[in-house]
Structure 1
Amino acid sequence: MTCDNITNKEARIEAFKKIADAKGYSFKYTEGAQEQHKTPSSGDFETRQFHYDALMVDQSIRDAIIVLEESLTDVDAAAMSRKQGLVKKLQRLLETGSAYEKAVFSLASDSYYFPEDVNAMAASAAQNKDSISSEKVFSCERICYVVCRCIGTHQDCKDMCRWVCNGAQD
Structure 2
Amino acid sequence: MGGTETIAMVRLRGMGIFRASCRGIACTMALGATGAAPVWQLADLSWLAGHWLACGPRGETAETWTDDRGGVLLGISKSVRDGRVSWEFSRIDRTADGIVFHASPKGQQPAAFTAVSITRNSVVFENRAHDFPQRVSYRRDGDRLVGRIDGVVAGTPRSAEWRYQRAALNAVCPPG
- TM-score of the two chains, using structure 2 as the length reference: 0.30
Which structure carries more relative contact order (alpha carbon 8 Å, separation 6+)? 1
Richer in strand (by share): 2
